Amino acid sequence: MSLSRPERITSRKTIEECRKAYSEFSGKPASGEPHHIRHRSLGGSDIKENLIQLNFDEHRDAHDGKLHYSQLVPIVAKREGMTIEDVCLLIGWPVPDEKEIIVPDLPEYAGRTLDELFQEYASLQESEDDARWSKGAVCLVLTEGMKASSSQVASWFGCSAAQVREMAKTFRAFPDESKRVPTLDFMHHRIAAGTEEPEKWIAEAADNELSTRQMKEQIAIATGKIKIIDLQKAKAEKALLLAREVIDADDENADWLREELLELVMPVKSVSGL
């Protein structure tokens, strides 16, 4: 029961095939792309089990958390001749549970259900990402449109001048939503914006499912700021330090690590001995 990010399937063909001229939820006239039940920003794939045609208002309600996935999954399940459980398994979200969740220390969540909490999380994440892009747009307008200095804007907003510049640069690199990758967060785009080829690097991060750390490493290697051998040495030194800490504890975890390390290095020694 987690919002894990499995490998995302992208398919414009499937999206187009799932388009309908009516809402599958209400039967009212509809247009535009179908809705991703598991939002793309949370790793939702372009598979038919994750797509449902909604009209404009319903689509907006779904993203605002007013129309829950528990109301949409049964419709898709009936359409595809599947069970609700199978649809949820394919999209990677838990089966809706109508039981109320009791959290003694958080009375504001009393009476909430599983699907309501998931929908709230999804909506909050989208709101956070939208807010970052909006902040980037404001920083860009203030610094480039109104010619305010980054330092001046920073003093107004209580942040650093470097942060203002990076926010503006990120929005400038990806001003159009069509150029952004929904499955990657704002930080990925911010890192890509710091390169000479932002679109290339954001595509690279998406295609190879790079974390922000891995993305920074790949860019540093490609631009000659760091050599692979130096990077591997740093990782090896860190791994050795951690291994020593575990082994020094001399407990069952240390025993397990010793066995794993022996199994890992023995083939290498055997080959080198030949």
Q: Which whole-number Å values give the CA distances from 165 to 132, 149, 156, 168, in the listed order? A: 13, 9, 14, 5
Identify whether the C-beta of residue 103 lies closer than 8 Å to the C-beta of residue 92.
Answer: no
Task: Indicate the pTM of the whole model.
Answer: 0.57
- Compute the distance between CA of residue 161 and CA of residue 158 in angstroms, rounded to an integer: 9
The candidate with the shortest Cα–Cα distance to 123, out of 69, 65, 43, is 65
Q: Identify residue 20 by its one-letter amino acid code.
A: K
The candidate with the shortest Cα–Cα distance to 129, out of 174, 182, 67, is 182
Assess whether pLDDT exceeds 50 at residue 4.
no
Identify whether the C-beta of residue 211 lies closer than 8 Å to the C-beta of residue 185.
Answer: no
Give mean pLDDT, residues 56-71: 87
Assess whether pLDDT exceeds 80 at residue 38.
yes
φ, ψ for residue 214, nearest 5 deg: -65, -35
φ, ψ for residue 7, nearest 5 deg: -60, 125
Give mean pLDDT, residues 222-236: 82
pLDDT at residue number 30: 93
Give mean pLDDT, residues 22-31: 94
Largest CA distance in the chain: 74
- Compute the distance between CA of residue 150 and CA of residue 140 in angstroms, rounded to an integer: 10
Assess whether pLDDT exceeds 90 at residue 148.
yes
